[in-house]
């Protein structure tokens, strides 16, 4: 194989071989294993080569079945090398997540759904040259002539997840200056189209795929193809037929995901002309959201409060918030409900806050004490600060919180424990904020706002069950 050892392992674990019934690892499964490899202090994926099933099960796999599956995929190496040789002979390049040239933005935006490898053919320089491209799905590509795209616009990104659109895609893109095609069905069928081959030879086309061999079914959801397209340029325009439900659904998903809202801004509603919908997309500068209210000087000293609802009645909590003039309450409970204090269930709490003019915002998915990503937890289920601070999703949440505080509004984090020294909002989130220059004040049951500085993580205490 013309790959380093780490890349070879990634390819073996995640490539669907047409002559094998072995089930490759998904992007999510590979990501989970990659985290464990790092957690165990192993040098990289190559360390798996020298392990037997028992050793794999003990170090990185959830169970023996997964360990056996990993070992079987690795043992397929001899046959797989023939596949890669054939791929390279066709002029197809292969890049895995350990390669330095792998797009960093893919890792940031797609996170655990980042393809473990990408294969490509054509002119890769187009990836860095595209300015304000139009993005069109292959099932809409036959309608390009009616989409009122300016004739002098040269840059087009096409997304394809069905083999049946290959010929139409090839024919319709001939008139365009530069084209990037992002595929989840492989490259071979596309490369066989004369118009595509000519465009590749002329340096006008670049094809990037999450899959090598032809496939009737896509190996990646359309959502992730769109996210890849958005990372190519800081601003782009999606065009689609008004009644293309699949595209509409994907755009609505992107608008609703907290992680993506911190990276991308989309028009709230499309502009529709003659049955064609147009949606503008932009990335936040420096990969962080801009202040929605106004430009705030970075030198402003931000201040953030915290509070625990404990077993107070709702009137008591509201009094504490009003006493400290809180304007925005940020709920960082992983599960925004309580078995023991039902008055603080999310919907009921929202209504109570609305009555006194306090805005509610939920951020438990990025700043909660029980994250879905278990790689940040110790053996007894506590968050390890050094691990969670390495996670993109956590840092995005922290920055979003800081941006909120820098608007001049008084912001308070809310979790369950009254005592911040017994709660992750104190010994995790607050410590991160303090290290970023934020003053953190903890509202206690008596109404006092205490500056406790850095809080040590407890060794023998856990948060109360919610």
Q: Given strand 411-415, what is the order of strands in its sheet?
A: 359-362, 328-331, 411-415, 303-308, 439-443, 449-450
SS3 329: strand
List of E strands, 35-162: 93-96, 117-122, 134-137, 155-160
- Report the pLDDT averaged over residues 10-31: 86
DSSP letter (8 states) at residue 141: G
Rounded Cα–Cα distance for residues 182 and 207 (Å) = 6
For the chain, percent of residues with pLDDT exceeding 90: 27
CB 99, CB 7: distance < 8 Å: yes
25 or 437: which leads in pLDDT: 25
Q: Are residues 60 and 187 in the same domain?
A: no
Residue 460 inside a domain? The answer is no
pLDDT score, position 181: 94
Phi/psi of residue 306, each to 5°? -135, 155
Q: Are residues 309 and 267 in the same domain?
A: no
Between the CA of residue 391 and those of 99, 362, 387, 430, what are the distances in Å? 20, 19, 7, 16
Phi/psi of residue 281, each to 5°? -130, 140
Q: Are residues 307 and 283 in the same domain?
A: no
Would strands 235-241 and 264-266 be described as parallel, antiparallel, or unpaired?
unpaired
Span 352-370, pLDDT tens digits: 898 899 999 999 988 998 8
Q: Are residues 256 and 385 in the same domain?
A: no
End-to-end CA distance of the chain, in Å?
Answer: 52
Q: Is the pLDDT of residue 116 over 50?
A: yes
323-344: string of b/e by CB count within 10 Å (b at 16+)?
ebebebbbbbbbebebeebeeb
- Helices 245-256, 222-232: inter-axial angle, 10-degree rounding: 70
pLDDT score, position 346: 86
Q: Domain boundary residue among 52, 87, 122?
A: 87
Q: Is the pLDDT of residue 82 over 60?
A: yes
Rounded Cα–Cα distance for residues 389 and 397 (Å) = 11
Phi/psi of residue 120, each to 5°? -150, 160
Q: Which domain holds residue 224?
A: 104-287
pLDDT score, position 215: 79
Q: Are residues 164 and 64 in the same domain?
A: no
Residue 466 inside a domain? The answer is no
Q: Are residues 260 and 129 in the same domain?
A: yes
- Report the pLDDT averaged over residues 104-133: 86
Q: Are residues 151 and 201 in the same domain?
A: yes
Total structural domains within the chain: 3
Stretch (H or E) spanning 273 = strand 271-273
Residue 33 inside a domain? The answer is yes
Span 227-272, pLDDT tens digits: 999 999 889 999 998 888 889 989 998 888 877 887 889 998 999 9
pLDDT score, position 461: 34
| 378: its two tokens | 């110790």
Compute the CA torsion angle 235, 241, 242, 243 (nearest 10 deg): -130
Phi/psi of residue 80, each to 5°? -65, -30
426 or 274: which leads in pLDDT: 426
Going by C-alpha positions, the residue among 425, 436, 431, 281 that lies closest to residue 363 is 425
Q: Are residues 138 and 260 in the same domain?
A: yes
pTM of the full structure = 0.60
Domain CATH for 319: 3.40.1010.10
Strand partners, 241: 276
Q: Is the pLDDT of residue 37 over 80?
A: yes
Q: Are residues 385 and 429 in the same domain?
A: yes
- Residue 78: pLDDT band by 50, 70, 90 thresholds? confident
Rounded Cα–Cα distance for residues 26 and 73 (Å) = 13
Q: Domain boundary residue among 238, 263, 287?
A: 287
94 or 1: which leads in pLDDT: 94
Displacement of CA 193 from its chain's centroid (Å): 33
- Residue 208: pLDDT band by 50, 70, 90 thresholds? very high
Phi/psi of residue 336, each to 5°? -80, 55
SS3 210: coil
Between the CA of residue 353 and those of 106, 194, 361, 466, what are the distances in Å? 38, 63, 11, 20
Span 159-202, pLDDT tens digits: 998 888 888 888 777 777 789 999 999 888 888 888 888 889 88
436 or 299: which leads in pLDDT: 436
């Amino acid at each position: 194989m013309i790959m380093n050892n780490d890349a070879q392992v990634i390819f073996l674990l995640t490539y669907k071989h047409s002559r094998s019934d072995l089930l490759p690892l998904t992007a999510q499964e590979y990501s989970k294993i990659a985290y464990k490899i790092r957690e165990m202090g192993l040098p990289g994926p190559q360390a798996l080569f020298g392990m037997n099933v028992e050793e794999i099960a003990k170090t990185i796999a959830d169970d023996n079945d997964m360990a056996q599956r990993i070992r079987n995929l690795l043992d397929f190496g001899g046959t797989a090398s023939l596949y890669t040789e054939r791929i390279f002979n066709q002029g197809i390049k292969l890049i895995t997540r350990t390669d330095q040239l792998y797009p960093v933005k893919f890792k940031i935006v797609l996170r655990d759904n980042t393809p473990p490898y990408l294969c490509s053919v054509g002119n890769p320089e187009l990836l860095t040259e595209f300015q304000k491209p139009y993005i069109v799905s292959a099932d809409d590509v036959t309608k390009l002539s009616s989409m009122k795209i300016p004739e002098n616009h040269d840059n087009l990104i096409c997304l394809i997840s069905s083999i049946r659109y290959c010929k139409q895609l090839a024919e319709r893109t001939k008139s365009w200056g530069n084209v990037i095609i992002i595929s989840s069905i492989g490259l071979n069928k596309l490369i066989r189209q004369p118009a595509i081959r000519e465009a590749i030879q002329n340096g006008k086309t670049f094809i990037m795929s999450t899959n090598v061999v032809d496939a009737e079914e896509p190996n990646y959801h359309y959502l992730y193809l769109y996210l890849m397209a958005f990372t190519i340029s800081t601003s782009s325009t999606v065009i689609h037929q008004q009644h293309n439900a699949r595209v509409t659904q994907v755009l609505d998903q992107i608008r609703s995901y907290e992680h993506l809202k911190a990276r991308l801004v989309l028009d709230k509603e499309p502009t529709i002309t003659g049955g064609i919908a147009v949606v503008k997309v932009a990335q936040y500068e420096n990969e962080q959201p801009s202040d929605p209210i106004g430009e705030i000087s970075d030198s402003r000293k931000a201040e953030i409060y915290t509070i625990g609802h404990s077993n107070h009645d709702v009137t008591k909590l509201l009094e504490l918030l009003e006493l400290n003039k809180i304007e925005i309450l940020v709920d960082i409970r992983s599960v925004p409900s309580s078995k023991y204090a039902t008055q603080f269930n999310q919907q009921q709490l929202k209504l109570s806050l609305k009555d006194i003019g306090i805005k509610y915002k939920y951020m438990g998915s990025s700043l909660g004490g029980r994250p879905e990503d278990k790689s940040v937890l110790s053996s007894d289920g506590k968050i390890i600060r050094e691990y969670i601070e390495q996670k993109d999703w956590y840092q995005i949440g922290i920055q979003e919180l800081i941006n909120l505080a820098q608007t001049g509004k008084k912001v308070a984090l809310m979790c369950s424990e009254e005592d911040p020294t017994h709660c992750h909002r104190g010994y995790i989130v607050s410590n991160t904020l303090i290290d970023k220059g934020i003053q953190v004040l903890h509202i206690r049951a008596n109404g006092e706002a205490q500056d406790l500085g850095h809080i040590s993580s407890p060794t023998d205490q856990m948060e109360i069950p919610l």
